[in-house]
Structure 1
């Protein structure tokens, strides 16, 4: 006796595919509506540095916390963590970010980097988080 039929798999694949469409539309609309991008670097939940994007030159920042050190590289409108002394180095493996709402996080060093824009309304984040 079969639990799933062939058509069940087709329906599941279609539903999963359609579930990603709102996210794609939202991320494209938000990134097109923001003209003044900036990166916010938070350490221990407090804003450490804000950098306007895009930059005309490469900039490197060394962030030292009580928990460890991170080296951040900003190229044009991309931000990435180049080096970290945390054990797993997942923050380095996340790659670079360049769109509004995208984040890089180093949990062991309590570092969060987020791309923001002037026209982005962060009050929606409160609704989504509850």
Structure 2
């Protein structure tokens, strides 16, 4: 390999590293995310992420779901629905992700407080 090849490879690696850092920094921080709890299409609760684990019972006329929220995300730990798909779904942590419980008409979605025009792709 010639000297020019090494310079080109080094330059491309530097550009790649800076791009990687920029992309990771541009994603939404924990302080800008919140959990939207919706029942039958209407938002009934907004929950912020915290450093310690918190339990939130969501009791409606359709049933009961118990949420566990910590700094890493949110998950349903107990539900009154027969299939328990929302419990089996596990933890979500990224903006745009959602857990849906059809029998209880519940949607748990992570949203951003930032007002940007970009769509989130997971």
TM-score, normalised to structure 1's length?
0.65
Matches within 5 A, 1:8-87: 32-35=26-29, 36-53=32-49, 55-87=50-82
Aligned with 1:96: secondary structure? coil
Q: Take 2:114 and 2:73, find their aligned partners in 1: how far apart are those partners?
A: 19
Q: Which has the larger radius of gyration?
A: 2
CA RMSD of superposed structures (Å)? 2.3
TM-score, normalised to structure 2's length?
0.69
How many residue pairs end up in the alignment?
96
* Residue number among 98, 110, 116 corresponding to 1:103 in the alignment: 98
Structure 1 residues not aligned, in runs of 5+ = 1-28, 126-130
Q: Take 2:64 and 2:36, find their aligned partners in 1: how far apart are those partners?
A: 17
Q: Take 1:105 and 1:30, find their aligned partners in 2: how far apart are those partners?
A: 28
Moved over 4 A (4+): 29-32, 120-125
